[in-house]
Amino acid sequence: MLKIKKENINTLLEELMKDYQVYAPVKNGSKAAFKVIENPDDIFTGHVKSEYSPKSVFFPQSEVLFEYSKEGVSIPEKKEKPYLLWGVRNCDTKSIRMLDKVFGNARQAPDKDMYKDPYWKQKYDTSIIFNFACNAPLTTCFCNWFGSGPFDESGSDIFVVETKDDLIFKGISEKGKELLKKLSVSEISDKKDEEAVSELKEKAVSMMPEVTDISALYEKLPKLWNEPIWQEISSKCVNCGACAFICPTCHCFDVSDEGKNGKGKRVRLWDSCMFPIFTMEASGHNPRGNSVDRVRQRVMHKFNYFKDNYGTHLCTGCGRCVVVCPVNLDIRDVIKDIINYELNKKVPADV
């Protein structure tokens, strides 16, 4: 493991900024979001986790697919340095790796490039993620339900632990190890540092909530399809898109042409399965016409469908939706309610 003194972080970042476009948490209004930094001092570390997830680095809320005019279509040429993400928590690192399964690959035809997303790949394939351990997880964190934890290194390119005076670096991926070799400001860490790291880890892990066993979730969900539990869960949902837009793994989008007089751009925009128009067809028919259907869809997609297709839950337990939901529809409660739901129990006739 390597380390640098905290006072040298800016020097390191300046060095990295020569070769990379560096994204890090910066102040966005009263909250933190991942944005490209022009100066190491732009970085804002005051919040444990950026309130807006870093998915927007690779999958912005609005992204131009191409420009069109009467002459035809053209893709705006982008010459960018590779992306480097600094200060990412493991829940978000994992989310980005999940999204790559969707955008970077083609599950039904892995060899066909037309099914891979070029806009994602252009940014993602050369990117590198500095995953920072969480010394003080929030009470809304529940990554440990998904087998992860505040000091989970998996998925990182470079794993970073912030100790009292230093940042300790550990290369995880080949890409990460290569980069660490090239950095000029680092020194080798010693046993004392390792002790400090394990001490921090122990403390952080102890701050995590009790683990809820979610192993039954995937198989149980389809059996609940017609159960009244969905009425109960969805009753308070107001069908806004706050949870989906704040979620690091939600990735559904809309495509819209923006322009006039034959000139403009086709853009893709984040969308949410909570919105009634998400599935509305031109005929007026809506396959998911009510809130119950839509809330069920979101839960099914996260904890059943995605696992069917990609082998993992589409949730990393970051807890952002818990914080942001205007009616406190807490996904942790939803998961627990589903797990504890008794199938075949008698339902009063008037429900």
Partner 1 sequence: MCNGYLPIQMRVDKVLTENPDKTLKTFELSFLKDNDRENFKYMPGQFCEFSITGKGESPFGIASSPTEKDILKFTVNRTGSVTKEIHYLRPGDIVGVRGPLGNWYPVGKFKGGDVVIIGGGFAFTTLRSLLVYMLEHRSDYGKITVIYGARNPDLFIYKEELEAWDKRNDLILHLTIDKAVEGWTKLCGFVPTVTKEVKLDPKSWAVVCGPPVMIKFTLPVLKEIGFNDGMVYTSLERRMKCGIGKCGRCGIGSKYVCIDGPVFSLEELKNIPEAF
Partner 2 sequence: MLQELKDTVKKLISEKKVDIVIGWKRGTLPGSASPLFIQTQEDADELIFDSTCRNNLTAYLTKDKRKMSKDYKKTGIIVKGCDARSVVLYAVENQVKRENIFLIGVPCEGVYEKKKIRAAVDGKEILGIKKSGNAVTITGRDFEIAVPDKDVLSDSCIYCRYPDALEYDVFIGEPRKEVDVKDEFAAVKEFEKKTSEERWEYIKSEYSKCIRCYACRNVCPSCYCNECFVDQNNPQWIGKTPEMTDSIIFHLIRNLHTAGRCVDCGSCVSACPAEIDLRIMSKKVEKEIKERFDYTAGLDINEKPVMATFCEHEKQDFIMS
Ramachandran sector of residue 2 (left: φ over 0; alpha: ψ -120 to 50; beta: rest): beta
Q: Does 144 interact with partner 2 (rule: CB under 8 A)? A: no
**Strand pairing report for 83-88 and 21-28:** parallel
Q: Which does 340 bind (CB under 5 to 8 A by kind): partner 1, partner 2, none?
A: none
Residue 206 CA to residue 137 CA, distance in Å, equals 10
Among 8, 21, 28, 126, binds partner 2 (CB under 8 A): 28
Interacting span for partner 2 (CB under 8 A) from 96-104, 145-153, 325-333, 338-346: 325-333
Q: Which does 226 bind (CB under 5 to 8 A by kind): partner 2, partner 1, none?
A: partner 1
Among 291, 306, 313, 314, binds partner 2 (CB under 8 A): 291
Q: Does 287 interact with partner 2 (rule: CB under 8 A)? A: no
Half-sphere exposure of 287 (CA within 13 A, CB side): 6
Residues 216/335, Cβ–Cβ less than 8 Å:
no
Q: Does 299 interact with partner 2 (rule: CB under 8 A)? A: no
Nearer to partner 2, 27 or 101 (CB): 27
Q: Tokens at residue 156, please?
A: 């990182």
Among 46, 76, 110, 262, binds partner 2 (CB under 8 A): 46
CA 117 to chain centre: 17
Nearer to partner 1, 205 or 280 (CB): 280
**Smallest distance from the beta carbon of 2 to partner 2, in angstroms?**
30
Site of interaction with partner 1 (CB under 8 A): 65-66, 68, 72-73, 75, 102-103, 106-109, 113-119, 121-122, 222, 225-226, 251-257, 259-260, 262-264, 266, 268, 271, 273, 278-283, 285, 287-288, 297, 300-301, 304-306, 308-309
